[in-house]
A and B are shown apart, each in its own frame.
Chain A
Amino acid sequence: EAAVTQSPRNKVAVTGGKVTLSCNQTNNHNNMYWYRQDTGHGLRLIHYSYGAGSTEKGDIPDGYKASRPSQENFSLILELATPSQTSVYFCASGGGLGGDTQYFGPGTRLLVL
Chain B
Amino acid sequence: GDSVIQMQGQVTLSENDFLFINCTYSTTGYPTLFWYVQYSGEGPQLLLQVTTANNKGSSRGFEATYDKGTTSFHLQKTSVQEIDSAVYYCAMRENYQLIWGSGTKLIIKP
Contact = CB atoms under 8 A, between A and B. Distances in A.
Contact of B45 (A31, A104, A107): A104
Nearest to A109: B41
B66 interface: no
Given A41-B102, A42-B102, A42-B103, A50 B44 contact: no
Contact of A48 (B46, B51, B97): B97
Nearest to B45: A104
A48 B96 contact: yes
Interface string B78-110: 000000000001000111111011110000000
Among A44, A45, A50, A58, the most chain B Cβ lie within 10 Å of the Cβ of A45
A100 B94 CA distance: 11
A21 interface: no
Contacts, number: 51
Interface in B13-47: 32, 34, 41-46
B78 to A, nearest CB: 25
Interface in B30-83: 32, 34, 41-46, 49, 51
Given A31-B96, A42-B101, A106 B46 contact: no
Interface residues of B, number: 22
The majority secondary structure among interface residues of chain B is loop
Nearest to B94: A98
Nearest to B100: A43
Contacts of A44: 100
A101 interface: yes
A42 B43 contact: no
A103 B34 CA distance: 13
A58 B97 CA distance: 9
18 contacts: A42-B89, A42-B101, A43-B44, A45-B97, A48-B96, A90-B43, A94-B96, A97-B96, A98-B93, A98-B95, A98-B96, A98-B97, A101-B46, A102-B98, A104-B43, A104-B44, A106-B43, A107-B42
